[in-house]
Every structure is written in C-alpha cells, then in structure tokens.
C-alpha cells in the first residue's frame, strides 16, 4: 500500500490500543483518538461502546463529528461520574506534559503558586487515572511535552499511584502513549516510559532527541504497523472522508 500518511499510522496505533479491551466504553478526546477508537469498533473490537461525545451511546459508527443515526443509550452529564467511578471505560486524553513516570499535566505550566500559563485544569484526569484504563495522545512530540517531571500532576502515573496507596493504585492502568513519532507504555524499569515502536520514517534517535528525559529502550525497536487496505478504506471513505486527520498530524509519507 502506497502513500500512507503519518496520521493514518497514528489512527491504526490508537485502534490497536483499544483492540483487546472487549466490551468497554471507549472514551476518546480529540480528532485522532476519536478516529482510532471508531476504527477499532469497525475492525478489531466490535464490542466497543462508543458515544457521540455528548450524551448518547451509539449503535452505529458515524464519520468524525457527525451525529449517529442509531442510538442505543443515554448518558447525561450526571451519569458520566458514575461511569468514571465504577464503569468499564478506557479513556484516551491529551497531554500538555508527560513525564518519565507517565504522569500527565493539563493544568498549568510553571510553578504551582504562580504558573506562567493556565491550561484546562485537571478536569477528569485524576479520576480517570485512578479508576479507568487511560491512554494519552500527543500530536506534537517534543521535549516541551515529554519532560523529566511534570509541573503539576493531573493524570497519575503508576509509580505515583503506588506511592499514594491502594486507593489510587488498585485500578491505575496507564496503557499506551501514542505520539506522532511512536508508541510507548510505562512498563520500563521503575514504572518509566518505554518506547514500543517508532512510526515508519522515524528513527529511534529522532525520538530520543525529541524526548526530555532518559527514554527506556529495551532491545531492537520495531516499526509501528501500517494500516492495511481495509483499514485505509474505512479511514478515508467511511470515518474521515473530509480528511480532518491531516489537520492534527500534517501529511508525512509513512510507508511505501
């Protein structure tokens, strides 16, 4: 397959992060996470439960940012907290900063008492990371995002969760970090971020240079798989015919 773009590789990598979840609520935040989760629903994990991002569970799988025509459930805002606390859910969030222990920051940049920049605030990140399987999506991998230590812990990584006790660690599960350069987990020594694969056209050295901490590399690093012909048809013709994905990850020829 020719002319596979970096965004399409990222979508397939995100789909793979949800492939073995079974019947669980897939809760993606952002364009590529939504594309990847819906791709998984149509390919590797048909049991995934998806929503319209607002208040409806969908039976069908509509294109990005389109309303579903088949509704199978209702999840008003007040019920979201019940799902976060007790439900089977895999959320993929963004991250302004991720550190070597998989802690995430979406709150502020700079000292806690006088930050240089205010961001979203912690929002649901603490509850997500101590109750539900959580993954992160980073569209622009750089040392400013992948930092030695986050300025504020919004999402809790496994090391910090263990240090906080069983209330935080029992259900803590930082599953994957997908960036525009590669795929990672937090199963390195001492619960550190580990490089699992580099996207086609990216080298390990490029990932190391773009990372602001000592990245754990164990053995030969494979290349992230390229989506097959069926997946590409679904991405291009069913889920994202308007090519919205390229706005988040600009076109880079990923494979020949």
**Tens-digit pLDDT profile for residues 136-179:** 999 999 999 999 999 999 999 999 999 999 999 999 999 999 99
- CB distance 159 to 153 below 8 Å: no
The pLDDT tens digits of the residues spanning 82-128 come to 888 887 999 999 999 999 999 999 999 998 888 888 888 788 899 99
Alpha-carbon Rg for the chain in angstroms: 18
Query: In the chain, what is the straight-line distance between the N-terminal and C-terminal CA atoms, in Å?
Result: 7
Using CA atoms, how far apart are residues 40 and 38, in angstroms rounded to an integer? 5
Token pair for residue 9?
């590789």
> What CATH class has 4-242?
alpha beta
Q: Is the Cβ–Cβ distance between 44 and 230 less than 8 Å?
A: no
Number of other residues whose CB lies within 10 A of the CB of residue 204: 16
pTM summary value: 0.93
Tell me the backbone φ, ψ of residue 197, rounded to 5 degrees. -160, 155
């Amino acid at each position: 397959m020719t002319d596979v773009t970096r965004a399409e590789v990222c979508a397939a990598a995100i789909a793979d992060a949800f492939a073995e979840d079974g019947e669980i609520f897939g809760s993606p935040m952002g364009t590529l996470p939504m594309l990847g989760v819906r791709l998984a629903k149509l390919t590797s994990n048909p049991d995934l439960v998806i929503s319209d991002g607002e208040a409806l569970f969908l039976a069908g799988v509509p294109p990005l940012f389109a309303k579903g025509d088949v509704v199978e459930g209702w999840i008003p805002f007040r019920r979201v907290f019940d799902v976060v606390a007790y439900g089977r859910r895999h959320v993929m969030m963004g991250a302004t900063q991720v550190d070597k222990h998989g802690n995430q920051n979406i709150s502020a940049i700079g000292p806690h008492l006088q930050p240089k920049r205010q961001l979203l605030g912690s929002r649901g990140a603490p509850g997500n990371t101590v109750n539900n399987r959580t993954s992160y999506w980073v569209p622009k991998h750089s040392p400013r995002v992948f930092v030695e230590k986050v300025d504020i812990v919004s999402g809790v990584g496994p090391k910090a969760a263990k240090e906080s006790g069983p209330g935080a660690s029992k259900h803590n599960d930082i599953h994957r970090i997908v960036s525009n350069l590669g795929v990672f987990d937090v199963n390195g020594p001492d619960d550190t971020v580990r490089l699992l694969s580099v996207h086609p056209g990216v080298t390990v050295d490029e990932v190391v240079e773009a990372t602001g901490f000592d990245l754990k590399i164990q053995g030969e690093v494979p290349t992230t798989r390229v989506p097959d012909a069926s997946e590409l048809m679904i991405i291009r013709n069913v889920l994202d015919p308007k090519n919205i994905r390229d706005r988040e990850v600009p076109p880079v020829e990923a494979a020949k």
